[in-house]
Amino acid sequence: MSKQRRVRFGWIAAGVLSAGGIASGVATATVPDGAGVIHGCYTTSALQGPLGSLRVIDTAKNPNCGSGEAGLNWNSKGSPGAPGAPGAPGPAGTSHAYLKFVASGDVPETDPFSYTTVGSMSLPAGKFVVNMTAVVQDDVGGNNEVEVSCLLLQDGSSIGDSLVDLEGADLPSGSMAITAAPTFGAAGTLSLACGSFDGSDNFNNLMMTAVKVDDITDE
């Protein structure tokens, strides 16, 4: 083999080895690093090339930038963003019902006439649809007359009323009902007060119901 051929062969072999070295380096590169960070260097001096030129480095092999360069690192996944703004309020929950049952009680006649509380319940702040039902009747051995007036009260103020006025039957009795829609700005009391105009009477099966609602539409 001539000397010229040996030289050319040597250059070819060196090129193959060089290419193999480069391929090996790419295969074992650690970019980004184990923490997911990409490391780079950018030029800060015109002597090293165009200012701001950026190159990525493998810190596992060479952790430092060269002269006339500065480091610049960034995450391959990015940093978590700031928390978003609070969402809009969700829909109102289910309503809540409050019940008070009184089996029976007296409705006395007073002079002068006055109302006596016969049932009450505590309620939280909010809007309510309330309903009261009861049966009033003459006492046994009474005068066979019933004249009973009742007031539904929100913290002592009337929000509804009912009157039963019957006579002429043996133990006359009648049903009464009151419905209202009060709003409590703070926790308060719903109560029923009754009074008799004509002798002592009584009531039974008093049911007071209050359902808390999100809103009330008056049609």
On whether both 64 and 136 belong to a single domain, the answer is no
Write the DSSP symbol of residue 46. G
For residue 108, being part of any structural domain is answered with yes
On whether both 125 and 71 belong to a single domain, the answer is no
Nearest Cα residue to 172 out of 164, 183, 182, 184? 164
For residue 43, being part of any structural domain is answered with yes
Q: Is 199 exposed, middle or buried (0-12, 13-18, 19+ CB in 10 A)?
A: middle
On whether both 187 and 124 belong to a single domain, the answer is yes
On whether both 201 and 170 belong to a single domain, the answer is yes
On whether both 118 and 199 belong to a single domain, the answer is yes
pTM above 0.85, yes or no: no
Cβ distance 181 to 105 under 8 Å? Answer: no
On whether both 107 and 189 belong to a single domain, the answer is yes
For residue 47, being part of any structural domain is answered with yes
Nearest Cα residue to 164 out of 191, 136, 124, 189? 136
Instruction: Give the contacts of 41 (CB within 8 A, at least 6 positions apart).
Output: 54, 55, 57, 65, 66, 69, 70, 71, 72
- For the chain, the farthest-separated pair of C-alpha atoms sits apart, in whole angstroms, at 147
The number of domains in the chain is 2
pLDDT at 28: 61
On whether both 50 and 100 belong to a single domain, the answer is no
For residue 4, being part of any structural domain is answered with no
On whether both 106 and 206 belong to a single domain, the answer is yes
For residue 12, being part of any structural domain is answered with no
Residue 13, CA atoms < 13 Å, CB-side half-sphere:
6
For residue 193, being part of any structural domain is answered with yes
On whether both 128 and 54 belong to a single domain, the answer is no
Nearest Cα residue to 98 out of 210, 190, 214? 210
CATH at 155: 2.60.120.760
On whether both 111 and 201 belong to a single domain, the answer is yes
The Cα–Cα gap between 75 and 214 comes to: 49
Instruction: Give the contacts of 117 (CB within 8 A, at least 6 positions apart).
Output: 191, 192, 193
For residue 88, being part of any structural domain is answered with no
Q: Which domain holds residue 71?
A: 34-76
- Which mean pLDDT values do the consecutive 10-residue runs of the chain (219 residues) have? 42 39 53 86 87 89 89 80 90 84 93 94 96 91 86 97 84 90 97 91 95 87
For residue 154, being part of any structural domain is answered with yes
The Cα–Cα gap between 87 and 45 comes to: 50
Boundary-marking domain end, from 21, 42, 76? 76
On whether both 54 and 116 belong to a single domain, the answer is no
